[in-house]
Amino acid sequence: MLISRLPERAARRLALAALTGAAGVLCFAPFGLFWLAPVVWLVLFALFVAADNTRQAALNGLAFGLGFFLTGVSWVYVSLSVFGGMPWWLAGTAAFLFCAVLALFPALAGGLFKRWQPEAFWQQALYFAALIATVDWIRTWLFTGFPWLALGYSQAPPSPLAGFAPLLGVHGLSLLVALAGALLLRWRIGVPVLCILAAGGFGLRQIEWTTPAGSPISVALVQGNVPQEMKFRPEAFFRTLDLYQQLIEQHPAQLTILPETALPVFIDQLPPEYVQALQRSVRAHGGDLITGTLTGDLDHYWNSAVSLGTSPSQVYSKQHLVPFGEFIPAGFAWIMAQANIPLSAFSRGPESQPPLAVAGQHVAVNICYEDVFGEEIIRALPQAGILANLSNTAWFGHSLAQPQHLQIAQLRAAETGRPMLRATNTGMTAIVAAGGDIQAVLPAFTTGVLQGEVVARSGTTPFIRYGNYGFLLLAGLFMLASRWPRRR
């Protein structure tokens, strides 16, 4: 049994936990070893079961979390130091502390597991799965939330478990993966369960929860590849405008989408003749343009997406802002004074905003990491037939952030049964099909336009209808079953 082979010394177990956490990043994009996830969380389960006390289990969870997040979201350092201008030592300290806070969640799971560890193996497995998935869910809303690298994201297509996404969402996938991993401790039980889950997920993948709505529309997703250090420089402003105008004119489509803050000024400060030229370009083909830009004024401004073209102009303003990047939490202004991050005091957009009516369709727009929050995306559904994400991940350089973000978009498409259009500054610009499969993608850090056709979808999935309630109900049942008294 795996438990008998674990190191006896506590320090070596902590090292094993950290290395296992680091290996867990391989389960996610761009590595895509989704089949490895149950094995990684099996080791964490074994460490929790074998811990001598609550403190040791919590420390094992902390070490696992540090290995996992320091490896998986180390790109936070890039944004603070390379592009934010923060001194390397302060950026390194801030990135480490950020990852250490995230590591507290698996530490909490370890402490709670050992504090109330059931006796029966099957109850231990249920309890472990419920704890792992629940602490991931808590990360989605505590302190405004940071659900990046929730376990379920590792099961984006082509994983067969992605078939459960329309039913239970990403946190339901976390629950199933953690359960399968724990049961593998006794492989005669775990392997058949894992096979049953894979077969069930494959079968669910064959179900079309939503139906096509209307004819295909042509789309053009523009990737400007404007260097982050030049984005807000006055001398690069007109060069940027010319670049986007040329790309739009050379790639006509019914729906053209530019990245987040592609036009890096307030929309009403753009030269009127430039706005008119963009409108003429898209109207010539009966189309519409959605572009990332700024709205408001210097006292109150929003990170927005504005539509121009054949349809009446409309605005979506980002409502889930990035802490430290788009707003400064109370008491942390002194840290941000060491960085050079422009426009870091955005106002929040309204919580509920209608989808944009463009190109004869309703498009649910979200900006940057808003698409990490599945329950917020479904607010515009089922009215919207297409999802669209405008991002600028140039802040994170050549790191894991871009492929990880695309994988998140795959889960949103799978949960909602809607295609997802991603227009990004430096990557990864992509068309994601309604089931979560990547239909087409541009190479990162290249200038180009991704053209294709998409069909809007109508109808609802269980996740659209109930959000995370299905996952929470199942996790609650796991908890209750794990506490069920044993018959003597």
| Residue 132 pLDDT > 80 | yes
| 333 and 438 co-located in one domain | yes
Please determine, for residue 488, whether its predicted confidence score (pLDDT) is greater than 70: no
**pLDDT above 80: residue 427:** yes
Same domain, 244 and 347: yes
For 321-339, what is each residue's pLDDT tens digit? 887 667 666 555 555 555 5
Q: What is the pTM of this model?
A: 0.95
Domain CATH code at residue 417: 3.60.110.10
Q: What are the pLDDT digits (tens) for 169-179?
A: 999 999 999 99
Residues 188 and 224 reside in one and the same domain = no
**Residue 313 placed within a domain:** yes
Residue 108 lies in a domain: yes
pLDDT at position 4 is 79
182 and 98 within one domain: yes
Q: What is the pLDDT of residue 258?
A: 98
In a domain, 488, yes or no: no
Residue 16: predicted pLDDT: 97
Query: Is there a domain that residue 487 lies in?
Result: no
Does 301 lie in the same domain as 246?
yes
| Three-state DSSP state, 99 | helix
**Res 400 pLDDT > 90:** yes
Q: Tell me the residue range of the domain where 140 lies.
A: 2-207+467-482
Question: Are 163 and 113 found together in one domain?
Answer: yes
Mean pLDDT of 40-57: 97
Q: Are residues 88 and 27 part of one domain?
A: yes
Asked whether the predicted pLDDT for residue 133 surpasses 70, the reply is: yes
Report the pLDDT value the prediction gives residue 321, as an integer from 0 to 100. 87
One domain, residues 335 and 435 = yes
Q: Are residues 375 and 402 in the same domain?
A: yes
User: pLDDT-derived band of residue 263, with 50, 70 and 90 as boundaries?
Assistant: very high
Residue 304 shares a structural domain with residue 395? yes
| pLDDT of 396 above 80 | yes
Predicted confidence band of residue 74 (pLDDT cuts 50, 70, 90): confident
Q: Catalytic site residues?
A: 260, 318, 368
152 or 299: which leads in pLDDT: 152
At residue 79 the predicted structure's pLDDT band, cuts being 50, 70 and 90, is confident
pLDDT computed for residue 78 by the predictor: 85
Q: Are residues 135 and 246 in the same domain?
A: no
Position 190 scores a pLDDT of: 92
Q: Is the pLDDT of residue 40 over 70?
A: yes
Both 193 and 252 in one domain: the answer is no
Mean pLDDT of the chain: 93
Q: Does 230 fall in a domain? A: yes
Give the chain's domain count. 2
Q: Is the pLDDT of residue 298 over 90?
A: no
Is the pLDDT at 27 greater than 60? The verdict is: yes
